[in-house]
Amino acid sequence: MKTRMLSPLEKSCLRWVSRGKTHAEIAVLEGKSVTEIELCLERALILLDAKSVEEAIVKAERSHSD
């Protein structure tokens, strides 16, 4: 099974969370609804096989440096 890479929005949402932004703040910054941001972060966790957003951020940073 081929693993899909994170979308630009998924990467952006993880980056915003790592900078301390709330889901509501990210929604405004990205021009999306809070629900869309929450779903985006859920997809990122699944794709990165992470149990938390914090773990997803670490895994995303690691994969970016590879």
> Within 10 A of 34 (CB to CB), how many other CB atoms are there?
14
| DSSP at 5 | P
The gap between the terminal CA atoms of the chain, to the nearest Å, is 20
Burial 44-60 (b: 16+ CB within 10 A, else e): bbebbebeebeebbebb
Q: pLDDT confidence of 63, banded at 50, 70, 90?
A: confident
Residue 1 pLDDT: 37
Q: Say if 1 falls within a structural domain.
A: no
Q: Say if 2 falls within a structural domain.
A: no
Question: Does the model's pTM come out above 0.85?
Answer: yes
Residue 65 pLDDT: 56
Name the strand (E) or helix (H) holding 3: none
Q: Say if 43 falls within a structural domain.
A: yes
Domain that residue 43 falls in:
8-65
pLDDT in tens, 22-36: 999 999 999 999 999
For the chain, the domain total comes to 1
Token pair of 11 as six digits: 């990467």
Q: Say if 30 falls within a structural domain.
A: yes
**CATH code of residue 45:** 1.10.10.10
**With pLDDT > 90 as the criterion, what percentage of the chain qualifies?**
82
Q: Say if 3 falls within a structural domain.
A: no
